[in-house]
Amino acid sequence: MKITIIFPARKVEVGKATMPVMPLAPTLLAALTPQEHEVSLVDMVYGDQVDYASDCDVVAITVRTPLAMTAYEIADNFSAQGKTVILGGPHIFAFPHESKQHAAAVAIGEAEDLWPIILKHVQAGSLRDYYVCGPYKTDSLNGSIYPQRQRPSLANLPMMRRDLLPRDRYRMDSIFTTRGCPNFCRFCPVTPIFGPQIRHRPIDEVVAEINTLRENYFNVDDSVFGHPQIVDRPEENQYYLDLYKELAALRPKRLWSGAGGLSAINYTDGRKIVELAAESGLCAIAAGLESISGAGQKQSGAWRKLHFTSSDTFEIDKMKENIRIFQDLGIEIMGFFVIGWDEDTPDTYRRTLDFCNEMKIIPIILTLTPMPGSPIYDEYLEQGRIFTELSWDHYGGNSVVFKHPTMDPEKMHKLNFQVLRKGFGMGRILSRTLHTVRHRPSFSIAMNSFFTQLALMKGFLFLYEQSS
């Protein structure tokens, strides 16, 4: 069969090229497609055109919440041409019925085991309505179901089909080494989707794949240090120690970035993991710091990943101390903060930016978007706080989609972009780059810091233009 995999983008986004990291989902799905089929990718972010006159048999589309309406429109057009449309992706997890209205079948959860089975069923003419992976409650699903109770093993995965995209399109390649997160942050759907147990890819397979990447890549794992503050399992930590030892020995050594909890540094194994990661080329870490207030930490549920034994023991000084340890190792911090917790005020935007400026961390300050699939979305929906009249197009950070107890949505939106504009002024960008290279003098580190910040600035300005 001929299979087209589509990574959607809204018309306004096409060609903006603000995303520096190659998307993982479509290249992985292409790799999971059995070789008897012919597969092609349509990457709309960089302007690939969708060809509705294509002679493909099957169209697979990744549905992420902010792009759900676009994905549905494409799906409807292909369905009208008699193509078999399959939808998968994180949005489906929360809204399987909605998605099913636009497709012959939808896949809920991880694709590794489901995708080859779906294709077999298409060929045999026995496609079910829902393909479900993992312990997902299927009682409410109205239609035929193929259940795959076990989450997939991450061993023996094929290499992602990066060859199907022009290699220089994205500044960084992407890879993953683990799935699952034990943190249960209340605003995040990752734990419900991937489960609380961490699953690892075999180290030799990861190293072999990294050896094929360009000199700059992003590890999309939820935490590239594991969770030494939560998971009291030495073998868990050993995985990262072994992995980074191997990566540190690779030649040429590549620069890489990823997401991770700074509190890892407070544990003996965690400290070793971070040091080895730096040695293996880690140059920047996206750290979900979430809030500078104890109340925000409590409401977000983020305190667990930040090393605090309860939400009441949060200390801003401890957060600062951890940031400095990372910076001393030459690792730049992209600080992710969410504003819009019930006790936040307009001043929280300014104080959070002041904190980022003081600590010389990249200020990724975002107004809360309760994402479908996360506990906080369900809670706010029940409380009547979600602006249900807004379409999914508003879930990309370009709007405020919920009612805050004291702040007006428009004001929140304006304040957010004010702090981002200030935080990404050219002077600030240069000063952070200089701060990083002072700790780790290297031309490529400087270039990486500068161009990553430039891409982020362009992305935020674009979001603002789009919404004003």
Q: How far is the CB of 300 from ligand SF4 (least distance, A)?
A: 8
The span of 155-163, 188-196, 200-208, 421-429 binding ligand SF4 (CB under 6 A) equals: 188-196
Q: Which of 62, 183, 280, 327 binds ligand SF4 (CB under 6 A)?
A: 183
A 10 A CB-CB count for 35 gives 7
Q: Which is nearer to ligand SF4, 305 or 404 (CB)?
A: 305
User: Could you say which residues in the range 333-372 bind ligand SF4, by CB under 6 A?
Assistant: none
Q: Which is nearer to ligand SF4, 152 or 261 (CB)?
A: 261
The span of 177-185, 199-207, 211-219, 317-325 binding ligand SF4 (CB under 6 A) equals: 177-185
**Adjacent-strand bridge partners of 338:** 366
Q: How far is the CB of 290 from ligand SF4 (least distance, A)?
A: 8
The span of 76-84, 186-194, 211-219, 348-356 binding ligand SF4 (CB under 6 A) equals: 186-194
Crossing angle of helices 25-32 and 114-124, rounded to 10°: 60
Could you give the string, one character per residue 206-245, with x where binding to ligand SF4 holds by CB under 6 A and - elsewhere?
Answer: ----------------x-----------------------
Q: Which is nearer to ligand SF4, 183 or 216 (CB)?
A: 183
**CA distances (Å), 182 to each of 227, 232, 239, in order?**
8, 12, 17
Chain CA centroid to CA 424, Å: 21
The span of 41-49, 180-188, 317-325, 451-459 binding ligand SF4 (CB under 6 A) equals: 180-188
Rounded to whole angstroms, the Cα distance separating 86 from 100 reads 9
For position 181 contacting ligand SF4 by CB under 6 A, the verdict is yes
For position 191 contacting ligand SF4 by CB under 6 A, the verdict is yes
Q: How far is the CB of 189 from ligand SF4 (least distance, A)?
A: 8
Residue 358: both structure tokens together? 């003081």
Length of the chain: 468
Q: How far is the CB of 180 from ligand SF4 (least distance, A)?
A: 9
For position 61 contacting ligand SF4 by CB under 6 A, the verdict is no
For position 190 contacting ligand SF4 by CB under 6 A, the verdict is yes
How many residues make contact with ligand SF4 (CB under 6 A)? 10
- Burial (CB < 10 A; 0-12, 13-18, 19+), residue 364, is buried
**CA distances (Å), 221 to each of 161, 174, 176, 224, 235, in order?**
19, 10, 6, 6, 18
Q: Where are the alpha helices (DSSP H) in 335-408?
A: 346-359, 375-382
The span of 88-96, 124-132, 185-193, 363-371 binding ligand SF4 (CB under 6 A) equals: 185-193
Output Rg (C-alpha) for the chain, integer angstroms.
22
* 256 and 281 Cβ atoms separated by less than 8 Å: yes
Rounded to whole angstroms, the Cα distance separating 256 from 282 reads 5
Rounded to whole angstroms, the Cα distance separating 151 from 153 reads 7
Rounded to whole angstroms, the Cα distance separating 102 from 78 reads 10
Q: Which of 288, 335, 363, 370 binds ligand SF4 (CB under 6 A)?
A: 288
Binding residues for ligand SF4, per CB under 6 A? 181, 183-185, 188, 190-191, 222, 288, 305
